[in-house]
Structure 1
Amino acid sequence: MLKLYGNERNRADMKCNLAMGGNTMADLQEMADQLARLYAENPKVEGVLLGGSVSRGWQDKYSDIELLVFWKEPPTDTYRKTPIMKSNGTVLDFHPYEDEEWSETYLTNGVKLEISNFLTAAIQRFITKTVDFFDTDPEIQCIAAAVNYGKALEGHELITEMKGRVQNYPDGLRKTMIEENIIFGSRWSNREALLYRKDWLMLYKVMADAETKIMSILFALNRQYIVHPGFKWQRNALDGMSVKPENIIKRMESVFIGNPKDAIRTLEAVIQEVFDLIAQELPDMDLSEAMKQTHQVRPLNENY
């Protein structure tokens, strides 16, 4: 049997409040607050952070609630399941420890909850990798983003200290991010051949990879941590940037919904404009080799 924290009346009140909630934006915020209090009843929990779209005001009718729970020691299955039971939740996924995380997904009152459990020490280590050692791994950088942009629900003193560590985007991370993404690779040089052959699957993968590199560079130019490893919420992220090519949102979207030939030309133009922005922001960075490789196109066989 699960060990419960708090008295019976408190648990009943919490269940009633959760059941009364709807799915409006304000309801998601309120539900997140209530669920955070459930987690905080466990003395092993040191903090609860609201992440994802709800924390940034980007939520829509498909949004769920993403909570990061910080533990002083590894959570048992019982500890993880207790808030689910208290909120009358239905478990969708319940994963064992992997990559320094315990994660579960459940439904409460028709709203999906995605819970990421970490040791507090692991979060501090991820932050160190990002801000002190300039680790560009998007999975790790997303933790820094969640801390920076997220909303503290419990453990305010701890999370405030964490936020202080990630508040200033490091110059070293900015430079490393750009250097790792300015080479668009040999597949990009095959774009005309793929278009000619109508190899759509590979062509669109190449274009998606190009957009991924563009996004990585733009996050760095704007001193913003990558918020999702797959660049979810691209439109919202671009809208919040000040250093970017003109009309970038529509141009990036048109790559996947317009004519493929036009899409390639759009990407070529955007890439050049991104190089221009890099030159303005980091004038000491040598871009000559990167630009040379990016402009290369697989040569035609004139004898064919």
Structure 2
Amino acid sequence: MNHADYRRTAVALVLAAYAGMPGVDAVMLGGSTARGDADRWSDVEVGVFWARPPTMAERLAPAPSVRAGTPEGGRSPWFDYLSVDGLAIDVEHALSSAVEETLDLVLDACVPDADGLGLLKGLVDGREVGGRRPELVERWQRRAATYPRGLAIAIVERDGAIDKFWRCQMLAERDNPMLLAREFLRITHQMLAVLHAVNRRYSGHVLAFKRLDAMEAELVHAPRELARRLREVFTAPPPVAGEVLRELVEETYDVIETQLPEVDVAPLRARFRTTRTPIGPAD
């Protein structure tokens, strides 16, 4: 039994318990367990879609132990972190009506909301839908299957505006690897968000990029040897790493020009290339 099958079996009773609860429209298994690429470090992601706001007791009833939970009340979604025999289960509860509103916002209005993009990725990855109204999730998945060109353009125009690259040289000269790594992460996150949009792939946050080789295989339009070069950014000496990252971003702009010609890449390149000249004698 592989890691995904093990997790699928371990949470089957939890899924069934949620699916049978009053007020639950649908339940969905998500993340790496649903995709089939879980490893021994993987949590299990579960989506529970409600016709009405759930109580805290309802949210926590299906699992024998709880690591943490968001407070009862407030706006959808709510998050709970459960455990079954030591296996972590991350449960996202959402009102079905809120999901509809999010899809309208992201897919129809083309607003690149990070949480909304994360929801769409979860829907695309999701499997084994149960509950009283599984057709709801199936309909959402059909909507999500068409990635709007307008959404891709909005993400590229927002995340393609990568600025202050000169900080990388500054932090390298200051021998501050902690802040340099933070800058590298900021820039790579923006770059990867752009590449996902160009390739019509949903991504919501940095954890969406945790499997670099699998990600590279999905991104048909991308700089060559993307995974290897990304690893080099975070493992090579700072001057080399900075140059690798600079080349990756410039090649990403090349990809935009080819795949989304309606985006004006010139101001994005100019912003990225803006530098700051050190003042005073060299150290």
Shared fold per TM-score greater than 0.5: yes
Match runs of 1:54-203 below 5 Å:
54-84=33-63, 89-96=64-71, 97-154=73-130, 155-186=133-164, 188-203=165-180
- d(CA) in 2 for partners of 1:64, 1:199: 33
Aligned: 1:209 with 2:186:
yes
- d(CA) in 1 for partners of 2:211, 2:75: 26
Match for residue 34 of structure 1 among 8, 13, 16: 13
Query: In structure 1, the residue corresponding to 2:170 is in which secondary structure?
Result: helix
Paired residues in the alignment total 278
TM score, norm. by length of structure 1:
0.85
Amino acid at match of 1:95: T
Question: Any gaps of 5 or more consecutive residues in structure 2?
Answer: none
- d(CA) in 1 for partners of 2:170, 2:19: 57
- d(CA) in 2 for partners of 1:99, 1:249: 38
- d(CA) in 1 for partners of 2:252, 2:57: 50
Larger radius of gyration: 1
Question: Relative to 1, partners in 2 of residues 1:286 and 1:102: Cα closer, same or farther, differing over 3 Å?
Answer: closer
Question: Relative to 1, partners in 2 of residues 1:104 and 1:42: Cα closer, same or farther, differing over 3 Å?
Answer: same
Specify the alignment match of 1:293 in structure 2: 271
Query: In structure 2, the residue corresponding to 1:103 is in which secondary structure?
Result: strand
Q: Is the 8 A contact 1:135 1:141 kept in 2?
A: no
Amino acid at match of 2:216: L
Amino acid at match of 1:102: W
Residue 72 of structure 1 deviates from its aligned partner by: 0.5
Could you tell which deviates more after superposition, 110-119 or 89-98?
89-98
Residue 145 of structure 1 deviates from its aligned partner by: 1.1
Question: Relative to 1, partners in 2 of residues 1:24 and 1:220: Cα closer, same or farther, differing over 3 Å?
Answer: closer
Q: Is the 8 A contact 2:81 2:91 kept in 1?
A: yes
**Aligned-pair identity (%):** 23
Residue 230 of structure 1 deviates from its aligned partner by: 4.0
CA RMSD of aligned residues (A): 1.9
Specify the alignment match of 1:256 in structure 2: 234
Question: Any gaps of 5 or more consecutive residues in structure 1?
Answer: 1-21
What CA deviation, in whole Å up to 9, does each residue of 1:198-229 have, x standing for no partner? 23332221111110111110110110110545
Question: Relative to 1, partners in 2 of residues 1:234 and 1:138: Cα closer, same or farther, differing over 3 Å?
Answer: farther
Q: Is the 8 A contact 2:60 2:80 kept in 1?
A: no
- d(CA) in 1 for partners of 2:211, 2:86: 26
Q: Is the 8 A contact 2:28 2:126 kept in 1?
A: yes
Could you tell which deviates more after superposition, 213-222 or 72-81?
72-81
Residue 64 of structure 1 deviates from its aligned partner by: 1.7
Could you tell which deviates more after superposition, 177-186 or 192-201?
192-201
Amino acid at match of 2:31: G
Query: In structure 2, the residue corresponding to 1:83 is in which secondary structure?
Result: coil
Q: Is the 8 A contact 1:218 1:244 kept in 2?
A: yes
TM score, norm. by length of structure 2:
0.91
Specify the alignment match of 1:268 in structure 2: 246
